[in-house]
């Protein structure tokens, strides 16, 4: 950005954001529940308004605690919806225009799936996608969008199709034209 600015190629600094799944962030409702338990007061600092809600930036938090306080789902029926820092963070970062959006293969495919189902996309408009961990894209795509059939299942489908068709009068007409 500095080089491009100094050379007069751009007029303002480039902006970027790393897009991650919601499970990387603190859920205020779950955090409040955790803080109601005994021996968890050391995590009270996480409730401060300016505290970073990205769990990846909190190496001091044990993994079992992270599992208890991460966002799993986020909807408007939550009691914390009006003071939810994750929801505010998500909305703010979704509305802003970024020159670069960085995401991994799972996030990218989840965005495609959301758009395919006519749901709100996870990635705002973009013209070019650079995908971290793209070497995993093919396998994850197949798992997320495809169905796997084993030989035995294909054989059963063919057999049932054949039985169905052989019981129809027009089956013989179709077979006759294929010969």
Is the pLDDT at 38 greater than 50? The verdict is: yes
pTM of the model: 0.69
With b for 16 or more beta-carbon neighbours within 10 A and e for fewer, the 27-55 pattern comes to: bbbbbeeeeeeeeeeebeebeeeeeebeb
The residue among 61, 78, 76 whose CA lies nearest residue 24 is 61
Please check the confidence at residue 74 and state whether its pLDDT lies above 50: yes
Write down the pLDDT at residue 124. 85
Strand ranges in the chain using DSSP code E only, listed in sequence order: 16-18, 100-104, 131-132
Amino acid 179: pLDDT: 47
pLDDT of residue 173: 54
Strands of 131-132's sheet in order across: 16-18, 100-104, 131-132
pLDDT attached to residue 166: 64
């Amino acid at each position: 950005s500095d080089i491009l600015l100094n050379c007069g190629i751009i007029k303002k600094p480039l902006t970027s954001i790393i897009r991650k799944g919601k499970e990387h962030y603190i859920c205020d409702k779950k955090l409040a529940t955790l803080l109601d338990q005994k021996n968890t007061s050391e995590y009270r600092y996480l409730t401060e308004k300016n505290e970073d809600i990205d769990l990846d930036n909190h190496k001091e938090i044990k993994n079992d605690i992270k599992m208890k306080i991460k966002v799993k789902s986020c909807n408007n029926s939550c009691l914390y919806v009006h003071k939810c820092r994750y929801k505010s963070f998500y909305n703010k970062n979704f509305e802003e225009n970024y020159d670069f959006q960085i995401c991994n293969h799972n996030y990218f495919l989840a965005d495609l799936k959301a758009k395919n189902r006519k749901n709100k996309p996870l990635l705002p408009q973009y013209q070019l996608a650079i995908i971290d961990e793209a070497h995993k894209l093919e396998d994850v795509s197949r798992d997320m969008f495809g169905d796997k059939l084993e030989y035995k299942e294909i054989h059963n489908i063919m057999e049932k199709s054949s039985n169905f068709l052989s019981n129809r009068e027009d089956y013989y007409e179709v077979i006759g034209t294929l010969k």
